[in-house]
Amino acid sequence: MDVTITRASLRGTAQAPPSKSYTHRAILAAGYASGATVYDPLDSADPHATARAIEAFGGDVSAVDGGFAVEGFAGVPDVPANVIDCGNSGTTMRLVTGTAALADGITVLTGDDSLRSRPQGPLLDAIEGLGGRAESTRGNGQAPLVIEGPVSGGRVSIPGDVSSQYITALLMAGAVTEEGIEIDLETELKSAPYVDITLEVLSAFGVEAEPVGADGGEVRSAGASGFRVPGGQTYEPEGGEYHVPGDFSSISYLLAAGVLAADEGLTVRGAQPSAQGDTAIVGIAERMGGDVQWDREAGEIEVSKSELSGITVDVGDTPDLLPTIATLGAVADGETRITNCEHVRYKETDRVSAMATELGKLGASVTEYEDELVVHGEDSELSGAIVDGYDDHRIVMALSLAGLVAEGETVVRGAEHVDVSFPDFFDVLYDLGATIQRQ
């Protein structure tokens, strides 16, 4: 699907979708339990992939009023009867690779073309280090993957700068092993807030896990040299239920739409504080000069169109914000420098290169380095163009924001991929006053 967007003035109220990161972890945690109900989940393609994996391992996931009822496999996954297709969901593949290592037999995991290009090697090496079998069928550290268990736990080392999801997979699986798992980080941890999300969900399900050697700051996992999860634990949430918070990665697009185009103001609901690192978008927008007011208790953000100035932003812990920040930088005065972003190249697509290329088509001046993206707002004047969404929900949404302020018509190709994390994205923009044409 292609979407055509023209310059618009937005106003009104928008509801943030539930968090994709929390939804994945909660569904899997309920699978590790004997069962639980996950309320307010994100009902989209990626969490559905995790739900299918739970069913492949012997559980069951069914829709109920306001959520998903999960019948779990109580920490002992069956050997799947068929290949598990994770679709486009990298989170699913990495998290359930840990689950597969617990099964007493062989599990095969695959996905679409994009997912089969993403790195899984360090997690495979960790499972091998725990005594399991973990192979890439093509011998390149990428899916399809063959995993054979069961592992009983132990101590492993793994890089911390490729994907925090490797750590999440090991922590979630490690809780139900006999020995537990101790993880030593070989490199500095990137995306530490995402591990905090994992620790928060584990705690809600009654599971103990902790960082080792962390710096004691607001982000619990920041500076950690490793992680530890004792074995023999049971997943059991209080009252048999878990409620998913709003998604700040998705809120970033609504907030950015507000500072770019909401002449009369915009209210974003569902913005309760949580461990999500992407809450940083509020402070980033404020630093750029955005008129942003966050009522944390009410979970509401008030935002309106603002004159923006370029800043430097380190996205080591917030990789999903890079596309949003790059778009804001293309409109801001001065230079916006996005640093510490090499790991953002290993998402659904190389998001650093994708944003440099597509913003360039719209008239932005962008310089791309291996670990840095610089947007020269003072040399940028956005005009409508045909841009490619790279089959990546975050690229599609970020480029759509640019269409709200570009002269003329902006056509975003592959717009259907917003279904991954924000299925109603274009409906929400339309309700706020955007002109949206679907083809």
Res 402: pLDDT: 98
CA pair distance 27, 344, nearest whole angstrom? 25
Note down the domain range covering 281: 3-17+246-438
Do residues 250 and 397 share a domain?
yes
Q: What is the DSSP code string of 95-123? A: HHHHHHTTSSSEEEEE--TTGGGS--HHH
Res 346: pLDDT: 86
For the stretch 237-291, pLDDT in tens is 999 999 999 999 999 999 999 999 999 999 999 998 888 889 999 999 999 999 9
Do residues 273 and 324 share a domain?
yes
Q: What is the mean pLDDT of residues 326-345?
A: 97
Mean pLDDT of all residues belonging to the chain: 96
CA pair distance 116, 114, nearest whole angstrom? 5
For residues 74 and 58, the answer to whether their CB atoms sit within 8 Å is: no
Do residues 191 and 295 share a domain?
no
Q: What is the mean pLDDT of residues 178-192?
A: 96
Number of structural domains, the chain?
Answer: 2
Do residues 201 and 258 share a domain?
no
- Chain centroid to CA 394: how far? 10
Q: Is 361 annotated among the ligand-binding residues?
A: no
The CA-based dihedral angle spanning residues 192, 190, 130, 25, taken in that order and rounded to the nearest 10 degrees:
40
- pLDDT score of 218 more than 90: no
Q: What percent of the chain has pLDDT over 70?
A: 100
CA pair distance 196, 127, nearest whole angstrom? 22
- Identify the domain boundary among 243, 266, 301: 243
- pLDDT score of 180 more than 90: yes
Do residues 115 and 213 share a domain?
yes
Res 220: pLDDT: 94
Do residues 357 and 274 share a domain?
yes
Q: Is 191 annotated among the ligand-binding residues?
A: yes
Q: What are the beta bridge partners of residue 63?
A: 68
Q: Which of 196, 278, 320, 350 is catalytic?
A: 320
- Identify the domain boundary among 212, 243, 274: 243
User: Where do runs of H (alpha helix) occur along 33-147?
Assistant: 45-56, 90-100, 121-129
- pLDDT score of 90 more than 90: yes
CA pair distance 169, 183, nearest whole angstrom? 11
Residue 320 annotated among the catalytic residues of the structure: yes
- Predicted model pTM: 0.82
Do residues 203 and 310 share a domain?
no
- pLDDT score of 420 more than 90: no
Give residue 385's region: left, alpha or beta (phi > 0; psi -120 to 50). Answer: beta
Nearest to 325 by CA among 308, 302, 305: 308
Q: Which residues contact 284 (CB under 8 A, 6 or more apart)?
A: 311, 313, 321, 325, 328
CA pair distance 90, 93, nearest whole angstrom? 5
Do residues 231 and 321 share a domain?
no
CA pair distance 270, 206, nearest whole angstrom? 25
Do residues 228 and 266 share a domain?
no
Q: Is 21 annotated among the ligand-binding residues?
A: yes
Q: Is 431 annotated among the ligand-binding residues?
A: no
Q: What is the mean pLDDT of residues 412-419?
A: 96
For residues 89 and 417, the answer to whether their CB atoms sit within 8 Å is: no
- pLDDT score of 432 more than 90: yes
Nearest to 133 by CA among 147, 112, 115: 147
- Identify the domain boundary among 209, 243, 277: 243
For residues 305 and 261, the answer to whether their CB atoms sit within 8 Å is: yes
Q: What is the mean pLDDT of residues 88-108?
A: 97
For the stretch 190-202, pLDDT in tens is 889 999 999 999 9
For the stretch 113-172, pLDDT in tens is 989 999 999 999 999 999 999 999 999 999 999 999 999 999 999 999 989 999 999 999
Q: Residue 254 is which amino acid? A: L
For the stretch 395-408, pLDDT in tens is 999 999 999 999 99
Do residues 206 and 257 share a domain?
no
Res 119: pLDDT: 93
Q: Please list, residue by residue across 327-337, b when 16 or more beta carbons sit within 10 angstroms of its beta carbon and e when fewer do.
A: bbbbbbeebbb
User: What is the CATH number for 340?
Assistant: 3.65.10.10
Res 69: pLDDT: 98
For the stretch 345-397, pLDDT in tens is 988 899 999 999 999 999 999 999 999 999 999 999 999 999 999 999 999 99
Do residues 103 and 199 share a domain?
yes
Q: Is 9 annotated among the ligand-binding residues?
A: no
Do residues 80 and 175 share a domain?
yes
Q: Is 274 annotated among the ligand-binding residues?
A: no
DSSP assignment letter at 320: G
